[in-house]
Chains A and B, each alone.
Chain A
C-alpha cells in the first residue's frame, strides 16, 4: 500500500500554515510538536503510521469551516479524525496534510424524547448517546464493539454496525440528519428531526463516506425504547457447517434475532482462557442468539430457535435464565478481540460480508488458506448478516509475517467477492482495502463514485489516498466521450 507522494512545497510552508490555523483556532488547538503529533500517527489499523504535518482541534462549526476554507484556498490536504478507532486506516494522517480532530466536539446538544431523537456533536462517543437517554429507558441501537471509545461522527463516516444491527439496522438506518462542513468552507444541513431528504439523499451518501465528502459537525440520531426483555441462547455445534446451517435456518424461518454471533474453535478457546465465560470447549463452533421483545415473544422464539438448533445438530444448548447469565454468554464474545490479542503478538481483522448460505464454504476455504499461508486464524463474527471477521494471527517482528498476513487477508476478501459478497461490511475501505476495490468494481463504477466526490470536493483535498486506488482529477473525470448515437438504432422499439 503506497500513499500519494507528499507535496514538498506544502511541507515547506508548514510554519505559515500553522500560523494561519492559529489565527482560526487560538491557543492549544494547533499542535506542531513532534511529541504531541505522535498521539495521532495512526488509527486502529496500527500497521500503518504517519506523523501528520499539523494537528488542529477546533471546537466550533465556524472554526471547522474556517479551517477548511483556509486549507482549500492554500491547497492543503485535510484528514478528519474522530476517536481514531477505525480499522481500515481512514484517519491515517498525511505527511503533507492537516489532521482535523473532532475531540472537542463532545457535547450532547438536545435530547428530544417526544420526537425520539438526540442531537449530538460528532465527538460524542457512541455509548455517550445511550448513556444520555438510558435513565428514561431509551438507547441508540447501533452498537459497535468499540462503543465506549468511538465517536458518533466516526460512526456516520464509516456507517458502523454492531451486534444489534441485524434487527435494528446500521448507522445509516438510524441517522436522521447531519450538519456538514464542505471543503470550500460552506456549511450544509442534511435531514433533521424529520424523515427522508427533500432532494437528493446526500445524507445517505455522506453516511459511510469515510471522511472524503465533508466534515460532520453535528449529528441527529433516532433513539428507541429498550425492549422489555432480552434472553440469549448459547449453542454449540460439532462443525462450522452445522452452525452455519443453523444461522441460515433461523433466518429462513422468519426470525430476525436481536443478534446472532458465531465463534469458531480457536476463538472459543482464546475467549474462554481470557474471561472464563463458561463456554463449551469440545465444540467446533458456538452461536450466541439473542431474542428481545416482550417476554411472551422471547419465550416463543427461544423455543423455535432451540428446535431449529437441535434439528441442525447442536450438541450444547443453554438458554439464559437471568440477566447475569445472558451477560456471561456475551462476555466471551465481547472480549474475543483482546482475547485473541493475548495468544498472538499481532492480529489483523478482516471484514468481508457474504451471503449467509456461503458461510460454511467460506470458513472451510479460510482454514485451507490458513495452511497455505502458514498463519493461524480465528473467526468471531456477525453471522446473522453474513459479516465475517477472520482474525489473522501473526508476529510483525518475524520477517515476512506481516506480508504473509496481508496476502492471506487479500485471499479471504477475494473469496468473499467471488461467492457474491463484498470487501467490507462495516469497517470501511480506507487505505487497507483501497487497492482491492477493482476486485468488486470496474473502472466505470469507480469513476462514477469519484464523480460524486468531485461534486463535494473538486480539488480532492479531503482525505485523499483513501478508498480509491487511482485518483483521477475531476477535470479528467468530467470530460465527455460521446460515442456512436449517429444511427437511430434501428432495432430499438419506438412508439
Chain B
C-alpha cells in the first residue's frame, strides 16, 4: 500500500513535492483518483492526493469565469453552475463508471489534466479551450502560473494548454480558472434510423456542414443502440444516428425543422425531446453503458470524421469489435474482446491520420501496451525534452503517458 500524502493547501502540496524531489521519490499525482485506471500504471510508493485542495474560490457568472482549487469535485462545480443556468461547455464526461469507479466523483483538476470533452467538442472545443489560468507546482518543486482570468490572452506561452492532457506528468495543478458559458435554453435531438456506419457518417457530415450549429453528432450501430437506457433508442431495433441542436426555443424549433427536411434523403427522421434527449447525450458522453461488457478493452480513436467507418470496418475483419461514433464520426469508441494486446497492434496498424488511446484494460495489458499513441522519433524526443524541463528527476506520474514521460 502506497503512502498517501493529502495536502490541505498549495503550500503543503509544494512541501510534498519538495520532499519527493529531494529523495527522488515518484509521486502518483491524482485528484479523486477516478481516472487512475487510465494511462500506464505507475506503481509508485507514494501518492499525492489533491482532493484536500477543494473549493470554488471565485465565480462571477456575469463574467463567465470560475476559479477553483484543483481538487474541487466536479459535482460541486456542476451544482454551482446549474444554479446560475451556466455550464462547462466542453461537456466533461464522467468516466468513473467506465473505469470501474463510482459515478460523479471526479475533480476539476483531473478533468483538465486529462483534457476530456464530451459530444459538444465539435462545436465548443475541449477542456483545453476553456482553461484560462493555472497555478501549478513543477517537478522542480517550484510554483508557476500561466494565463489569467480573461478569455483573450496571449501574454507568454499558454501553459494551460500544455498542462491540459499532461496527465499530471508536468506539474501538480493547485488552482485553475475556467471559462463558463450560458446553458442552452432548449435542446432537441433529430434521429435517423437504420443507417449503416458509412451512410450515417455522411448524414452527420451533411448536418455538420449545414448552418444549423449542430452541437452533437453521434451514431450508434444496432448493438450499441440496444444498450441505451432510452427506450426509444434501444427499442428501435436498428442503428440510431443522433444530431443535437441547442439554443433559444424558436431557433431550435426552426433549425430542427430545416434539418429534418434536409436529412429526409437519408430516410425517416424522428425526434427526441427533453429528458430523453438529455439522457441519450449523457450516455454518449460517459461511454460506459454503450460500450457494453466490462471485460472488453476500450479504445478511444480520434480520426478525420470521414475516415471513421472505413477504419472500424477494417478492424472488424481482424478483431472482435463493437463500436459507436461521436464527433460526426471523428471519435470512435471501440470495445475489443479476446485480443491479448487489447487489439493494439491491429488498431495502430490500421490507423492513418489520428490517434488511438487505450482507455480501459487490465493493468497487465496497460503495462505492456502503449496506452497513448506512439509518436515518431522527433516528436517523441521533443515530448521527452518538455518533460525533462518540467520534471527533471521524473517524480510526477513518471511513465504514465509513455516510458520516460
Chain A interface residues (CB < 8 Å from chain B): 112-116, 137, 158-159, 161, 165, 169-170, 172-173, 182, 186-190, 192-205, 207-209, 225-228, 248-249, 251-252, 254-256, 293-294, 296-297, 300-301, 353-357, 382, 385-387, 420-429, 433, 437, 440-441, 444-449, 451-456, 467, 477-478, 480, 482-486, 488-489, 491-495
Contacts and interface: CB of A to CB of B under 8 A. Distances in A.
Contacts of A256: 181-182
Interface in B19-40: 19-23
Contacts of A480: 21, 140, 392-393
A57 to B, nearest CB: 25
Contacts of A197: 115, 165, 355
B246 to A, nearest CB: 11
Given A446-B156, A493-B52, 10 more contacts: A115-B330, A196-B115, A200-B383, A248-B63, A293-B247, A355-B60, A356-B62, A449-B146, A492-B5, A492-B12
23 contacts: A115-B330, A186-B382, A192-B304, A196-B128, A196-B302, A201-B161, A202-B162, A205-B158, A208-B158, A209-B157, A355-B60, A356-B62, A385-B151, A422-B150, A445-B156, A448-B159, A449-B144, A449-B146, A452-B162, A455-B389, A485-B141, A489-B12, A494-B5
Interface stretch (B235-243, B249-257, B281-289, B316-324): B249-257
A280 to B, nearest CB: 28
Nearest to A177: B353
Given A193-B304, A357-B62, A492-B16, A200 B162 contact: yes
Given A387-B152, A485-B21, A198 B372 contact: yes
Interface stretch (B96-104, B358-366, B373-381): B373-381
Given A357-B62, A444-B142, A455-B389, A204 B156 contact: no
A491 B154 contact: no
A386 B150 contact: yes
Interface in B193-222: 205, 208-213
Contact of B248 (A161, A297, A493): A297
A485 B20 CA distance: 7
Contact count band on B: 35 or more
A161 to B, nearest CB: 6
Contacts of A420: 148-150
B166 interface: yes
Contacts of B227: none
A484 B22 contact: yes
A227 B306 CA distance: 23
B154 A485 contact: no
Interface in B109-147: 115, 117, 121-122, 125-126, 128-129, 138, 140-146
B23 A485 contact: yes
B16 A170 contact: no
A421 B212 CA distance: 35
B152 A483 contact: no
Nearest to A304: B248
A199 B405 contact: yes
